[in-house]
Amino acid sequence: MKILVVDDEQLVRWFMDRALKKEGHEVITASNISEAGARLQSEEIDLLFIDLRMPEGNGTELIKNVCNLPKVPKVIVCSAFITAELEDEFRGKGICILKKPFKLDELNYALKSCMEG
């Protein structure tokens, strides 16, 4: 599976890259919204892990744009700033949630749940 990880924190990108590659996935990372948008336009992505708060843009903007792609990837929002209202809104749209900070088993569970759901 081809996964795009979008997070402004280098340590988070590194951790997720290693953990997901260890599970056999192809992983691409982006540190901001514009870089992620370019990747989504040029590559066919199966799953998008995205942080909500980044210095150069809001993850929810990118999520809206994802719906316009020819092949819409599954989405997992990975953030420490998820309110109950946002969680309800995302789940209603079929978007999975992974709250930061998270452990490896939580990452794997979110991935499995999202792909099955």
Give residue-wise pLDDT tens across range 5-63: 999 999 999 999 999 999 999 999 999 999 999 999 899 999 999 999 888 878 888 88
| Cα 86 to Cα 30: distance, rounded to the nearest angstrom | 23
Structural domain containing residue 12:
2-116
pTM higher than 0.85: yes
pLDDT higher than 80, residue 70: no
Three-state secondary-structure class, residue 27: strand
Strand partners for 75? 48
The two structure tokens encoding residue 33: 């919204």
CATH number at 53 reads 3.40.50.2300
The two structure tokens encoding residue 73: 């990837």
Q: How far lies 53's CA from each of 48, 91, 106, in Å?
A: 15, 18, 20
Structural domain count of the chain: 1
